[in-house]
Chain A
Amino acid sequence: MRIALSVKNITKKFGDFPAVNNVSFDVEDGKFFSILGPSGCGKTTLLRMMAGFYEPTSGSIEIRGQDMIGVEPNRRPVNLIFQHLALFTMMDVKENIAFGLKRKGERGKKVYKKVEAMLERVGLSGYADYKIQQLSGGQQQRVAIARCLVLDPSVLLLDEPLGALDLKLREHMKIELKQLQHQVGTTFVYVTHDQSEAMVMSDYVAVMNKGQFEQIDTPQNLYYHPSCSFVAQFVGENNKFVGTLKKESSGNFSVVLENGKTLQTGMISSLAPGERIELFVRPEAIFINQKQEKSTNLLYGEVKEVLFEGGNRRLLVVVEGSSQEVIVALPKNKVYDMIKVRDSIKIGWDPAESVCFKETGVKTYVEL
């Protein structure tokens, strides 16, 4: 596979503050690559460096093997879709899409043939003469995409373009964008703070925090095999237990919680006994009221809340003898319908389903 975009050791400092700190990654041709991170993590700065609006303090950016440092945005083979789209309201739809072609020096009927073909591709044929203000949010989105794709860029950069849409449309556009990328085969680099967008659309996701990449992986691996505490917390929902690592006489490791309770652990990586660690377990990995098996961690608690969300129902359980809250996903069938608030409940999980990392105290403020 050819490498479309190669970023090496890139750093951008604003004053003394490193917004992007020594980031490196490669994106293969035709892939959908996402950069996922909380607001203020430097992801937009990184994207704007690729587009050419910021010069990096150090490091290199190569697009299809060509060095991009010092190249003006209007001479780079990349195009950017802005957060609020930045459509030219003083022009109609076809002039918006023809804008880039005309800047390349293309003239006459050829331009509008390409525009018409592009409009058809994004499902907007017949809208050529519409004003931007006459279009709905989703249609404007498509015009913004068409305006860039018509130039056949080596890499298309997208800066949270779905952020301004309402939920239903966003869900729809997610799928549409993914399909469009698949059809045209252009390399997409997509920046977002919404992990569901990144997971659904991407081939690869880079999780970014405080100016650095924490992990670059497929969505599946990010979810099931997070490489650090931040990724475990940021990608998907997770329950966190904090405790001290202990080596059992059997050779297995366990975690002693603050309330004295011991939890068996699954995989541990480069951790020593006595260290403060964080143990994560996914809500859907937790069983309810099961008979004890040998290898299962068991906790007793009280149901604090039943969270109903249509297809997804979850319990908020307070563990006995502590203020620890655990979120438990309920199976889709109605077996557990009888569970009510204040019920006493027994929860448990297979230690192999949990992951441990050294305690970092990192917090992510992501919507549940």
Chain B
Amino acid sequence: MLNSKRSKIRWSFFVFFIPVFLWLMFLFVLPNLELLRMSFMGSRFLGERGFTLGNYTSFFLEPIYWLTFVRTIGFSLLVTFIVLLIALPVAFYITKVTKLKLKGLLMTLIMVPFWVSEVVRVYGLILLLRESGVINRILLAFGLWEKPIEMLYNDASMVLGLVYTTLLFMLVPIIGVMDSLDDALIEAAYDLGAKKVVIWWKIIVPHSVPGIMSGCIVVFMLVIGNFITPALMGGKYSSWFTQIIYNDFIAHMNWNRGAAFGFLLLIISSLVIWAGMKITGQKISTVVK
């Protein structure tokens, strides 16, 4: 009796485990192991064949690579920070200020743009911002300026695009934690003499830290690994590290160095997240929740 129950549990465990295992093994672990092996191999066209660290050392020896990388990380942090600054008051408004009915509507309004692909959304922004775009035409019609201004293809437009395309991924986890904040806590702080700034800084933000951290990690990872938005909205000087990887794979046919750069991106962005969690004193288990 007891035995049969135990074996049943084991069977159900395997039923669920095997697909997951196969999925991860063939679509994640094996390809990445192959890429890892390739990243230590010489290219067919350049340099020696066989085992080499050259793919990795070239990253540090060529300033264009690591400068682009530093730029990418810097802008990713900036975008994450801006998204956070926008998401906090918006999440607060949706969870604590609006009535229940309106809450559903506002959530839907936030979700709707994400039903279309990122490319379409970015082209939507381009339609607004470009030289012959909607904003320029309106401002010209009102005579606010005489010549159309090019608002695209610079760092600012790229940041705008990245903020726009990732905002949802910050809002959802923060709305989640703010929902769980008891209104009475805010009232209690108010009752004990706190001003609004203090309530934000001492009550709302500390309570929301798990959601803020998971939102920041997701947004940072999405931004640093983004390809299409910097490519479409950034200028010719706004190069993104993923573009370098892309060029290695596609333009230079140098899969070995592309793989090496891919791993560098993974390692260093993981380090940034780890450092961020250390500084804010968060554990991965609470953030993932």
Please list the residues of chain A having a beta carbon within 8 angstroms of any beta carbon in chain B: 51-53, 72-75, 79-80, 82-84, 86-91, 99-100, 103-104, 147-148, 151
Contacts and interface: CB of A to CB of B under 8 A. Distances in A.
A188 to B, nearest CB: 16
18 contacts: A53-B187, A74-B192, A74-B193, A74-B195, A79-B191, A79-B192, A82-B187, A83-B184, A88-B188, A88-B189, A88-B202, A89-B207, A90-B203, A99-B194, A103-B193, A103-B195, A103-B198, A104-B193
Contact of B191 (A74, A83, A87, A91): A74
- The dominant DSSP class at the B interface is helix
B62 interface: no
B146 interface: no
Interface of B: 182, 184-185, 187-195, 198, 202-203, 206-207
A88 B198 contact: no
A103 B206 CA distance: 17
A86 B184 contact: yes
Given A86-B187, A90-B206, A90-B207, A99 B192 contact: yes
Given A86-B182, A86-B185, A80 B198 contact: no
A82 B185 CA distance: 9
Contacts of B193: 74-75, 100, 103-104, 151
A88 B181 CA distance: 10
A359 B190 CA distance: 46
A91 B185 CA distance: 12
B109 to A, nearest CB: 28
Contacts of B188: 80, 82, 86-88
Q: Which of B185, B192, B203 has the most CB of A within 10 A?
A: B192
* Among all A-B residue pairs, the 6 with the closest Cβ atoms: A103-B193, A86-B184, A100-B192, A86-B188, A90-B206, A82-B184
A82 B187 CA distance: 9
Given A73-B191, A87-B188, A100-B193, 10 more contacts: A51-B191, A74-B190, A74-B193, A79-B192, A82-B184, A86-B185, A86-B188, A88-B185, A100-B192, A147-B192
Nearest to A74: B193
B260 to A, nearest CB: 43
A90 B212 CA distance: 15
A104 B198 CA distance: 12
A50 to B, nearest CB: 11
Contact of B192 (A84, A90, A151): A151
Nearest to B184: A86
Contacts of A87: 188
B185 A74 contact: no
B148 to A, nearest CB: 50
A73 to B, nearest CB: 5
A88 B203 contact: yes
Contacts of B182: 84, 86
Contacts of A75: 193
